[in-house]
Chain A
Amino acid sequence: MSKEEKKVNRRDFLFTASYTVGAVGVGAVIWPMIDQMNPDKAQQALATTEVDISNIEPGKSITVLWRGKPVFLKRRTSEEIAEARAVKLDDLPDPQKDEDRVKEGKDEWLVMLGVCTHLGCVPLKDKGDFNGWFCPCHGSHYDVSGRIRKGPAPTNMEIPKFEFVDSNTIKIG
């Protein structure tokens, strides 16, 4: 009886050990197959873009391409800034102060990803119910700070990592 049990246990151990080694092996092969689909070195190398902003008049905006996505650079007028800051946080689906969406001391520059947070379309400027942007795909309205106000988009338009290299140049990324 005890002899038989021993035999079975020994075989169980071999099975379990084989399955475990096999599973580790399969995992080691699968991971490279999955990870090869992530952005490659060439894509990652496009990670920063420098933009000359010296020609942008107050109230105007430009769109540049960064990592294949549009980035809106808007030089806001003081009225627009005041309008963005007068909004009560309670009125916002994704509460965020306008101050937190710009660099301190550079309040007139709004730099954000021009990508609707719903399903990735490019919103149209100076449209919609809130004097900001309007996404034509599924009807999301953004305000002059790029914050979602109405429609299916869940969050405000994203602010990318950026810095002022000098007073005329912004580096995105």
Chain B
Amino acid sequence: MIKKSFIGLKKTHLEYEQLGNKIQAPKKISVSKKITLLLECSIDLIDTFTLKTGDPVKTGQKISPAKDNDAYVISTATGIVTSITEYTGDYGKSYVAISIDTDSEENLDDEFENSCSEITFDLAKNYLACIPGAPCHEIFQNTENPINTIVIYGGDNDLLMTTNQYIIKSNIEGVKHGVDVLKKIAGVDNIIIAIPGESMQGYGHIGAEVKNIAMKYPSASPHMIMRNVLGKVIPAGQTSENLGVTFMTVEAVVSLGDAFSNKRIPITKLITVIDKNQNKKLISARIGTPLSEIFSALNIQLNDKERIIIGGPMTGSTVYTDDYPVMPNTSAIMVQAAKDVSLVSDYPCINCGECIRICPANIPINMLVRFLEAGQYEDAADSYDLYSCIECGLCSIVCTAKIPIFQYIRLGKYELDRINSAEAVNE
């Protein structure tokens, strides 16, 4: 938990966690009895599933159960499918949860091995979308805004986490190999690797341009990297992909390389677990492992009124059950004790200006939040720069009235998207 400094004139200053030189190997979490895979697709597709409960699956097997739909997950264990249910995530994202009871004996699937003789884009697209780090391959085929630069971020995008830093420090050869593979897959030569902190030694040979990123939050946000490192400001409402730049975590790059060198689809995710006292521990667990398994392996007791956060304290999301599985993009799991849970209030904005002074994007938040509270999202976007928000969450942290500003901003963008897509359908 952070505290406002006694000298209130001083701005709140948050820094990313820096992994020291003492690197401890991550603790391995054994394969749990039951794993859950979340397949991102419309729940209407459940009826067309070819996969049924009782079907056996093998480790590394590609499960693409819906007819006429490419969505797939990679099974991370050998066993029997026990249930196929729907699951709704943040902002109404719909998933199908496939639960698998694991066998004690592990059977490896060799479909990928048989077809990976050559490194191609299609292969990566068809088999490697769910590898740890969750790379997004579709963007490489976008003809409207062809990608010409890939930025690999060698740090973590939220506070307290050290997952990606550990990978780049412990496995620099893996990164080098991953960069080679990535160049072939994406057909992009301009690869930049962004390293947090001062140290830039030892990264010279990995085939990418090395850039330095400040430790101050939120300098690792794509918007800030684009502005400070590449010198391009992303226009409000657009993404870096519109400018031909895409971002990837170093974990995704290493996983890509590993997939082709081991001829196996990587299924083990590296995670920083932050306990109630903010002690950090790196673990490695298979994708699909329920969080409860990780907590019991690390001896973390959970009680009512506590908070489980997927991701870091600034931009993560909470889950309501410890049955929630590890996902390909779960880089951190944070547990917050009941006494540390800060609640929001329904007070109006008192116009103190703390948010204005901390906002890295110069948004007039004091005005914006008034429009968002009233549900006037269009005015908020037109007159008060809703789309300039880079979603760092700093405004909510310093808000004297404890308004959930960041939540209002996300909600505003979400509602506007819904309105816009509804209009597009009607036309």
Query: Does A pair with B?
Result: no
Give residues in A with beta carbon < 8 Å to B: none
Give residues in B with beta carbon < 8 Å to A: none
